[in-house]
A and B are shown apart, each in its own frame.
Chain A
Amino acid sequence: MSRKFRISELIFVILIFISHPLVAENELVPLWKYAAGGVLVSPPAVSGTGVYLYSEDRQIHAVSTSGDPMWKFRMPGRPVDSLSVGRDGTVYASTLEGRLFAVNQAGRALWRYDADSEPAGAPAVSADGTVYVASKNGELAALSHTGFIRWKIKIDGSITGSPVIDAGEAVYISDDNGALYSFSPWGTRRWTIDPPAAGSDGHWTAAIDSHILYSAYGSTLRAIEGGEVLWSINLPARISGIVIFSGGLFCSLENGNAMAFERSGVQLWQAEGSHYDTYPVAGASRIFLLSRGGLISLTPEGQLEGAGIVEGIALTQPVMGGGLLVCGSEQWVACAFNVADDTGAGWSQKGGGPDHSGVSGRNRWYFNEEDYMKNMDYLYLKQYITAGSTDEKLEAIEEIGSRIAAEGIDRGEQYLLHLLHLALTEGNIRRTITADSRSNDYPAVRREAAKMIGLYGNFESIELLTAVLEEEKHYDVSAAIMRALGELGTDYDNLPLISIYNKVIKDNNGSAHSGLALAAMDAVADITEYSGVPGSFYGYRALMEIYKGHYSSGIKRKAGEVLRSIR
């Protein structure tokens, strides 16, 4: 079938080896190979938790970073290019029929979202865990990391390509004519830019550098910031891929050439050849290209530095992360190369998107107060939260919950979540409870806010909940916070389990409150089940503290049961 084609391409790669003096000295040798049961339908996804492959065999394969198989998840439908991994190791993939699955680190499905049509590309996952899913019928949906639909919008026309997120969590999509749309994290449209004049061919790819979007549609490359086109260039051929590297912007073209530009749009260099035709990725001070003969690395100055043979003809876009470069081939084999990542950037997804490294703290809101200053709902509710009586605050929280639960178009709940966060922290966190502060203490409000946040929160909510838990004096509020952490499930950076463990230690040295212990045990069990990673150190230690601590025998018995279940 393709045997003759493979032989000719391998000969081509061998010729590269023979002809270039640098190649033999800089040979990229696979660190490991993995047979994926089919051609990869999606570029691999790489994170600290592993390497994920979505194959024609309709399965998601999870492989450790050292190449050992971990698990497989069977997708109930035809596979399509749609694989992403979240910061907490949750894997997202869709079928051709539009069913998106979230799969935890143990290979179990957490939830499912049914879009009305085929996905336009892989979902984009933001730092706060929001999953943006674009469908070919023009629908863009924002889902929480627990699968709750935050909002949905629909544009006229079809969406092409995956959504892209910038440093401010704004979301960008393109329609199949090349028109660009930008949305805030809460679903309001920020701006729209018309298609490029050069005509349409339905192929869009993009790269983000902080708040600047570099958009490639057909042969047109544009830089856009804040809805303004900074510059626009027509290249000699259709752009197959773009990536940001240390020197600027790199484009591979479908005529086999490559071009590099400064961020200002000034051309740096151009490389002509028949092999720079597709799929670039940047990292480790180099640009890697997957061409039909194999893997090529270029210096930022455009010099050919090295090459490696992929098992057969390379097909899928390479992805870099954690010092690995992974790509798939026609022979159903995924290859991983060790490319030491000296940028310290950690993992990233295809195309060199924004690197979401580190926790920014609870003050990082996805919220532009200016936009909503005029929004009376927000002001009205905020008034109740901040200045109302206990009953009024509780009513506001209930109102917020109802609004969030109702699926609304163009009515993002992000600001509502902000209000819940506000309710959790409003005027009551003090180390010393004084006569004044007692009058400002609303434990009931915090308790109800925590419950609501447990249902609708995001990664930022986790940070806030753990911070509040540390200071919280009321047992029922602490218990509610712990349960909320359990509801939110994910345990990235170990934050929830560490905070639960610390709380349990404090409590054990104090009054050994049974309600608190029960909440802690339930939360540890929920978090362990959600992540799929058994035997977390802090979860285990928290349960042991309860087991050995000054609690009733019933509580200790339950601690033993939960301990056994999480092993």
Chain B
Amino acid sequence: MKKNFILTVLIILLLSTVVMRIAAETVYIDELQTSESDSIVFQNYSGPHNKIDTIEEIRGIGQFLGRKISSKSGEFTFFGKYNVIHAVDPNTSAGLDADIFILQEAAAVDHIINLRRMISGFLEEAYNYDVEQADLLAEFITVYNAVHRSDLDYFGLKYKPVVTKHLLEEKVGIALSYLEWPGKTMLIIPLTPQAGDDVLSDLDTDILSDEDVINQLRKDDDKGIDIRQDLVELKDEEVLEERDKIEEERDKIEGKEKELEQKRDELEDEVEKLVEDKTEDSEERIEKIKDELKDIEAEEEELAEEVKKLDEREEKVEEREDRIVEEREKIAEDQMKKIEEEGGSSDAAVDTVEKQPVIETVPFLKLSADLTGLYSGQLLLVDVEEGSIVKTSEVDSIRLRGYSYDDDEIISVAGSEGANRIVSLVRIDPETLEIIDSATAEVFIESAVIEKSGSYYAVVKNDGWKIGVFDNDLTLQSISDVEVFPATDIVISGRDIIAQNKSGRIIKIGEEDFSSPAF
């Protein structure tokens, strides 16, 4: 009893020491949502996986769904994890058609890059975009859906009922955090009336780059200049294609008009001759010719209507061209600002070539609570002189207790549970803060990690929670025969290990009590 009390106090002291040492404040993940002045930053999982899909496999999911798309409405699924609803209604002219790309509960995608790859694969197959165009559009689709997340009013105004009837407020669009993607994501992909007609403009790129989206992109450090440029160039190609089509149709109409004119001339000449003949047959023939001339007139009127429609189309193209010019001007303005900020003169450019002074940094673990209430950390490099953050790691799932570092490496427990994700040991480069190695064995989320003589000791899952021994390559070499309390402390004494067993009792585990792991 007394021992348990002392142990509890020690643990509390240890925890509080760690907390006081490494966290000045806690930031809840909710607060990472964009405020008015923040740019959109997707929060991705950056930790170990138990299964890693190749890029081709990820794109393949999208391609699989893309192959199902036809001209009719329908819903298609990839093994119950990813669905697409092709929502089109050619009988309704007001509003947009759309594809709705849904992430179901079982969806394992946890990084925005992979989600974009999936969407890109879908667009490639469904609408014949080339890879670069599909990648670009996929990026805009995710930003567009993040900007308009949960905005049913917006979607109600823009899209046809065939689309909006499927939408749910808590799911429409995409959340910024990957933890909220499975089962709560409906990505809207706006389609033009020409979608599926083997044209460049299957997707409505004007909608995807509306003012809200562009304003968000402009909040990024680089003001989204590169992708805005790429999209404007795609729009120019769309406009060019449309102009060529209009030109083609005008030529066809002109051809038909000439044919009709010729026919009319021939018939009128015939009438003249028949009038001179003045026979019974000729009068009959003249009447028939009059009917034929009426038909020609009707056809000419139809052609005139088509010309009128082409004129209207051309007017819309010109308006679109004007808008594209305005977009280009805005991009140029932002580019000039960036050039001025970077110092576009030769003096400034020379200054940047000079060597930067060496800054001494130290890793720091910034903590926050995830949706499960557990603390996870994000590594930072902090300037020891200024106290400012020099670099931030993408890895944000460092677990509280398992964290040790020296000049060469940082070993930690990182990761989260779900889909393909696991919690395991990772090795992090202390300069780049990137994961350079990870174990594949599942480690307890709050496991202690101890290093001795090049081996690492942590609590692993292997037919129960047990003490696992990892070599320098983070390969699990052996596990204890006895199960332990998963949050146990691990103390190495000589060749033995002192830990708590499953019932909470302090035990000593000898070297002989370890054996190869069961796989």
Contact = CB atoms under 8 A, between A and B. Distances in A.
Interface of A: 1-3, 27, 29-38, 55-59, 67, 74, 78, 331-333, 338
A12 B353 CA distance: 18
B136 A1 contact: yes
Contacts of B332: 35-37, 57, 332
B336 interface: yes
Contact of B353 (A3, A27, A31, A78): A27
A333 B328 contact: no
A331 B328 CA distance: 12
A315 to B, nearest CB: 13
B345 interface: yes
B73 to A, nearest CB: 32
Interface string B323-358: 001001101111110010000111001100100000
9 contacts: A1-B230, A35-B331, A37-B325, A55-B328, A56-B236, A56-B328, A59-B325, A332-B229, A332-B335
A32 B353 CA distance: 16
A409 B328 CA distance: 43
A29 B325 contact: no
Contacts of A78: 240
Interface in B341-377: 344-346, 349-350, 353
B339 A35 contact: yes
Contacts of B233: 1, 56
Interface string B206-230: 0000000000000000000010011
Interface size for chain B: under 10, 10 to 19, 20 to 34, or 35 or more residues? 20 to 34
B331 A37 contact: yes
A33 B346 CA distance: 10
A35 B331 CA distance: 8
Given A33-B339, A59-B325, A338-B346, A332 B132 contact: no
Counting chain B CB atoms within 10 Å of each CB, the highest count among A1, A29, A32, A59 belongs to A1
Given A35-B331, A37-B329, 11 more contacts: A1-B135, A29-B350, A34-B336, A35-B333, A35-B335, A38-B232, A58-B325, A67-B344, A74-B325, A331-B229, A332-B331
B136 A38 contact: no
A133 B464 CA distance: 85
A74 to B, nearest CB: 7
Contacts of A56: 233, 236, 328
Of listed B133, B321, B329, B335, residue having the most chain A CB within 10 A? B335
B229 A57 contact: no
Contact of A32 (B226, B333, B345): B345
Given A1-B136, A37-B331, A333-B335, A57 B325 contact: yes
A97 B495 CA distance: 87
Nearest to A66: B345
A338 B347 CA distance: 12
Contacts of B229: 331-332
Contacts of A332: 229, 328, 331-332, 335
Contacts of B331: 35, 37, 332
Contacts of A57: 325, 328-329, 332
Contacts of B333: 35
Contacts of A333: 335, 339
Nearest to A27: B353
A343 to B, nearest CB: 22
A1 B135 CA distance: 8
A1 B344 CA distance: 26
A314 B132 CA distance: 21
**Top-5 shortest CB links A-B:** A35-B335, A57-B328, A37-B332, A35-B332, A37-B328
Nearest to A17: B353
A326 to B, nearest CB: 14
A59 to B, nearest CB: 7
Contacts of B236: 56
Nearest to B353: A27
A34 B350 CA distance: 18
Contacts of B349: 29-30
Which interface residue of A3, A30, A33 has the most chain B CB atoms within 10 A?
A33
A29 B354 CA distance: 13
Contacts of A32: 344-345
Nearest to B135: A1
Contacts of B346: 29-31, 338
A324 to B, nearest CB: 12
Contacts of A2: 132, 230
Contacts of A338: 346
A431 B344 CA distance: 59
Contacts of B133: 1
Nearest to A69: B336
Contact of A38 (B132, B328, B339): B328
Contacts of B240: 78
Contact of B336 (A3, A29, A35, A38): A35
Interface string B225-261: 0100110110010001000000000000000000000
B483 to A, nearest CB: 50
Contacts of B334: 35
